[in-house]
Amino acid sequence: MKSKLFLVCIILFPVLLMAQENSSSSKINKTDRKGRKTGWWQYYHANSTTVATEGTYIKGMRDGEWKEYTKDGKLQQVGFFKEDKFSGTWKYFDANGKVVNERSYKDGKLDGENRSYSPDGNLLKVTVFKGGNEVKK
């Protein structure tokens, strides 16, 4: 009897191991019942394990903070989406991690101040937009 129980355990053990779900991968890149992207998603650079873009989907639309990275893993830009449209302030970074540009969006269009900075952090230029169009001064 003990030998049969031992044999059953040996057979079932590998099956149980394979059934374990990787908890980190189970929380990303999911779809809902309608096939729409939902929750946290990550995209990778081609032929790489380095994350290219990451952010949240709600009902198949980007919503919330999104980040984009260079191939060597440095943050390139960060900003927000609302119902798949650019929203709020987006920041763009140089290779050293310094902000080179800040853009304001509303309903997917440039709206507000667009600020450009020098590599040493000095403000170079401010351009104002309204509804996607530059406001002339």
pLDDT at 82: 98
pLDDT at 15: 36
pLDDT at 136: 82
pLDDT at 24: 47
Tens of pLDDT along 57-68?
A: 999 999 999 999
CATH class, 31-134 region: mainly beta
Q: How far apart are CA 84 and CA 99, in angstroms?
A: 24
Task: For the chain, give every domain's residue range.
Answer: 31-134
Residues of the chain with pLDDT under 50: 5-24
Strand ranges inside the chain, DSSP E: 30-31, 37-44, 51-58, 61-69, 75-82, 85-93, 99-106, 109-110, 112-117, 123-130, 133-134
Query: Scanning the structure block, which residue is given the tokens 């044999």?
Result: 7
Tens of pLDDT along 26-41?
A: 689 999 999 999 999 9
pLDDT at 2: 52
* Closest residue by Cα to residue 59 from 85, 38, 33: 38
